[in-house]
C-alpha cells in the first residue's frame, strides 16, 4: 500500500469535518433524524468492496442528520464538553500515527507526550507533583482505576493477598455521599466491591462531617474505601475535603475523589476554595473531555502513590520485559493494554491555552452559569434550587409536571439542549455550562428558549 491510497479518503474526511464544525454555530442542537431513520439508511453488509473516499462520503451523508451539536455553545445537556482546535487536530494525528501507546519503547514519542501532559495536569490541579497519571476512556474508567488501586492497598494493609481475589480475604467497607455519581457505583460493581453505605449530605450534596465521623466510628477497624466528589452533578458543589479527608485518614481509609468535571475548580485561583483540601486524597478521577474541552474520549486517573498505582494495575509478561523504564510503561496505570495515544490531545489543548488560558476557560464557564442564574430569576414561576457556585444551574417550575413539560418543549424546539433530571425528589431542569464556545449571546438564547417554553406550556 502506498501513502496515496490514503489521500482521497483523508481529503474527504477533512472536508466533512470542516463542514460539520462550520455548521455548529447555526444548526439546531438536537439530531434532525432519529435512530430508526439512520438504521434504515445504513443498509446491509455489501458483498463487494467500495473505495475508501466513497465510504467516507456515504458515512457522512447517512450519519450527519443523526448527529447532535455537542460541540455547540448552545449545548447545556448532561456535562458534555466540546473539542478545541488544537485538541481536535491532534486527535486526527493520533489516528494517523496510530501508535499503540501501551508499551513505552514501542512508542516513546507518544508515551513521553502523555507523561508531559500528565505532569501539566497534576500541576494545574494543584495535586502532589510526584503523583502518577493514567489516560483512560473517561471518568468511569478513571474512577474504576482509583477504586481498584484503593481496593488493592486496603487488602494488602489488612493482610490480604490481592492475587487471591476478594473471597475469604478481609472485608472492605465502602462509604460514599448520598449524591455519589452512578459511574462510581458501576466501578464498585466492576471491582467486586459492595455498593456503598450512604453518608448523609447537606442541601448542596456535600458530605456532612458529622455523618462521616459517625459512619467511621461505627466500624473503626474495618478497611474502608471512602468515595468523595468534586462537583455535584446538580449543584456543582464539592465535598468539604479539608475537613473530611484528615478524619478518614485517621481511620486508615483510602480516599478516592470523583472530580469528573468539578476537579477543575482547583485549577482556578478564584474557584479553588470550593475544592479546598482536595489534594489530600489518595486518588482522583477527572475528565479531559468535559471542562477541559478535549475531544472524546479522554479521562484521567491520578494516584498519589505511583507504587500503589502500579501494584494494582500492572501486568507482567516475558514479551514486555525491558520495554519500560524506571517509571514503568503506560499500561501500568490504566485498565487497557493496547490503546490509542489519547493523552496527546490533552497536551495539545494545554499547550494551546497555556496556564492563563485554562484559568480563563474555567472562570468563563462559571461566569456564564451566573449569567444564566441572573436571567432565570426574572422568569415567572422558575426557581433555582442550587447555590450557583460553578458551572451547574438546577431549576424547577411550579410543579413536577410543569417542569417536565417545559423541558420537553425546549428539546422539541431544538435551539438549545437542556436536560431533565430528578434532584431531592423533584423533577428539575438542569443546565450545565461546559462548552468553551458558550458566549453571553448563547446564554441569552438559552434564556429565550426557556421563556418560549414557559409561554408555550402555560395554561391561562
Ligand X SMILES: *Cc1c(COP(=O)(O)O)cnc(C)c1O
Of the ranges 46-54, 87-95, 258-266, 336-344, which one interacts with ligand X (CB under 6 A)? Answer: 258-266
For residue 63, CA distances in Å to 8, 30, 338 come to 20, 13, 28
End-to-end CA distance of the chain: 70
Q: Which is nearer to ligand X, 216 or 257 (CB)?
A: 257
Of the ranges 121-129, 164-172, 253-261, 405-413, which one interacts with ligand X (CB under 6 A)? Answer: 253-261
Q: Which is nearer to ligand X, 320 or 390 (CB)?
A: 390
Contact (CB, 8 A) for 271 and 362: yes
Burial class of residue 134 (count of CB atoms within 10 Å of its CB; 0-12, 13-18, 19+): buried
Beta bridge partners of 394: 430
> Does 179 engage in binding with ligand X (CB under 6 A)?
no
> Least CB distance from residue 227 to ligand X, whole Å?
11
The SS3 of residue 124 is: helix
> Least CB distance from residue 287 to ligand X, whole Å?
5
The SS3 of residue 238 is: strand
Site string for ligand X, 278-297 (x = CB under 6 A): ---------x----------
* Residue ranges in 406-425 that form contacts with ligand X under rule CB under 6 A: none
* E strand or H helix at 256: strand 254-258
Burial class of residue 100 (count of CB atoms within 10 Å of its CB; 0-12, 13-18, 19+): middle
Q: Which residues contact 98 (CB under 8 A, 6 or more apart)?
A: 340
Q: Which is nearer to ligand X, 291 or 329 (CB)?
A: 291
Contact (CB, 8 A) for 236 and 432: no
> Least CB distance from residue 243 to ligand X, whole Å?
20
Residue from 114, 152, 239, 258 binding ligand X (CB under 6 A): 258
> Least CB distance from residue 79 to ligand X, whole Å?
4
| Residue 350, C-alpha cell as written in the block | 494545554
> Least CB distance from residue 218 to ligand X, whole Å?
26
Residue from 181, 340, 342, 368 binding ligand X (CB under 6 A): 181
Cα dihedral angle (342, 348, 349, 350), rounded to 10 degrees? 110
* Residue ranges in 116-145 that form contacts with ligand X under rule CB under 6 A: 138-140
CA–CA separation, 84 and 65 (whole Å): 22
Q: Which is nearer to ligand X, 132 or 137 (CB)?
A: 137
Residue from 84, 131, 183, 224 binding ligand X (CB under 6 A): 183
Q: Which is nearer to ligand X, 432 or 457 (CB)?
A: 432
> Least CB distance from residue 165 to ligand X, whole Å?
26
- Interface with ligand X (CB under 6 A), residue total 13
Q: Which residues contact 262 (CB under 8 A, 6 or more apart)?
A: 229, 230, 231, 232, 236, 238, 274, 275, 390
CA–CA separation, 435 and 76 (whole Å): 8
Site string for ligand X, 43-82 (x = CB under 6 A): ------------------------------------x---
> Does 233 engage in binding with ligand X (CB under 6 A)?
yes
> Does 393 engage in binding with ligand X (CB under 6 A)?
no
> Least CB distance from residue 167 to ligand X, whole Å?
28
> Least CB distance from residue 382 to ligand X, whole Å?
24
Q: Which is nearer to ligand X, 287 or 336 (CB)?
A: 287
> Least CB distance from residue 140 to ligand X, whole Å?
3
Beta bridge partners of 422: 427
For residue 459, CA distances in Å to 34, 384, 413, 454 come to 30, 22, 19, 10
Residue from 81, 160, 231, 295 binding ligand X (CB under 6 A): 231
> Does 260 engage in binding with ligand X (CB under 6 A)?
yes
> Does 257 engage in binding with ligand X (CB under 6 A)?
no
Cis peptide before 296 (omega within 30 of 0): no
> Least CB distance from residue 143 to ligand X, whole Å?
6
Instruction: Write out the residues near ligand X by the rule CB under 6 A.
Output: 79, 138-140, 181, 183, 231, 233, 258, 260-261, 287, 299
Amino acid at each position: 500500500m502506498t501513502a496515496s491510497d490514503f489521500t482521497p479518503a483523508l481529503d474527504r474526511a477533512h472536508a466533512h469535518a470542516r463542514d460539520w464544525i462550520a455548521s455548529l454555530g447555526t444548526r439546531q442542537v438536537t439530531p434532525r433524524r432519529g435512530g430508526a431513520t439512520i438504521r434504515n439508511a445504513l443498509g446491509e453488509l455489501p458483498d463487494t468492496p467500495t473505495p475508501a473516499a466513497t465510504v467516507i462520503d456515504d458515512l457522512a451523508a447517512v450519519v450527519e442528520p443523526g448527529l447532535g451539536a455537542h460541540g455547540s455553545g448552545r449545548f447545556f445537556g448532561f456535562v458534555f464538553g466540546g473539542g478545541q482546535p488544537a485538541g481536535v487536530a491532534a486527535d486526527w494525528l493520533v489516528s494517523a500515527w496510530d501508535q499503540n501507546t501501551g508499551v513505552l519503547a514501542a512508542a516513546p514519542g507518544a508515551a513521553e507526550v502523555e507523561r508531559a501532559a500528565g505532569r501539566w495536569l497534576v500541576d494545574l490541579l494543584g495535586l502532589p507533583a510526584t503523583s502518577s497519571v493514567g489516560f483512560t476512556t473517561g471518568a468511569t474508567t478513571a474512577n474504576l482505576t482509583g477504586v481498584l488501586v484503593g481496593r488493592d492497598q486496603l487488602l494488602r494493609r489488612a493482610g490480604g493477598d490481592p492475587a487471591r481475589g476478594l473471597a475469604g480475604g478481609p472485608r472492605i467497607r465502602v462509604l460514599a455521599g448520598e449524591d455519589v455519581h452512578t459511574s462510581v457505583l458501576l466501578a464498585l460493581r466492576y471491582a467486586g466491591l459492595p455498593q456503598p453505605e450512604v453518608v448523609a449530605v447537606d442541601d448542596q450534596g456535600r458530605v456532612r462531617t458529622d455523618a462521616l465521623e459517625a459512619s467511621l466510628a461505627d466500624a473503626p477497624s474495618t478497611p474502608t474505601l471512602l468515595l468523595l466528589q468534586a462537583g455535584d452533578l446538580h449543584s456543582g458543589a464539592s465535598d468539604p475535603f479539608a475537613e473530611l479527608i484528615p478524619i478518614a485518614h485517621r481511620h486508615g481509609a483510602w480516599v478516592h475523589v470523583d472530580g469528573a468535571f468539578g476537579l477543575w475548580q482547583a485549577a482556578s485561583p478564584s474557584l479553588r476554595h470550593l475544592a479546598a483540601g482536595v489534594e489530600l486524597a489518595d486518588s482522583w478521577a477527572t475528565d479531559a473531555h468535559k471542562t477541559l474541552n478535549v475531544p472524546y474520549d479522554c479521562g484521567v486517573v491520578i494516584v498519589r502513590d505511583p507504587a500503589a498505582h502500579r501494584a494494582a494495575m500492572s501486568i507482567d509478561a516475558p514479551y514486555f520485559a525491558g520495554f519500560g523504564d524506571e517509571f514503568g510503561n503506560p499500561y501500568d496505570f490504566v485498565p487497557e493494554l493496547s490503546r490509542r495515544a489519547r493523552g496527546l490531545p490533552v497536551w495539545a489543548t494545554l499547550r494551546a491555552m497555556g496556564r492563563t488560558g485554562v484559568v480563563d476557560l474555567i472562570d468563563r464557564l462559571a461566569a456564564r452559569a451566573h449569567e444564566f442564574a441572573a436571567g432565570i430569576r426574572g422568569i415567572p414561576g422558575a426557581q433555582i434550587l442550587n447555590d450557583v457556585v460553578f458551572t451547574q444551574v438546577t431549576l424547577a417550575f411550579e410543579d413536577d409536571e410543569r417542569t417536565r413539560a417545559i423541558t420537553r418543549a425546549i428539546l422539541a424546539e431544538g435551539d438549545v439542549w437542556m436536560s431533565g433530571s430528578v434532584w431531592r425528589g423533584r423533577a428539575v431542569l438542569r443546565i450545565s455550562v461546559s462548552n468553551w464556545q458558550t458566549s453571553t449571546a448563547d446564554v441569552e438564547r438559552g434564556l429565550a428558549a426557556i421563556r418560549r417554553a414557559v409561554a408555550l406550556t402555560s395554561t391561562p
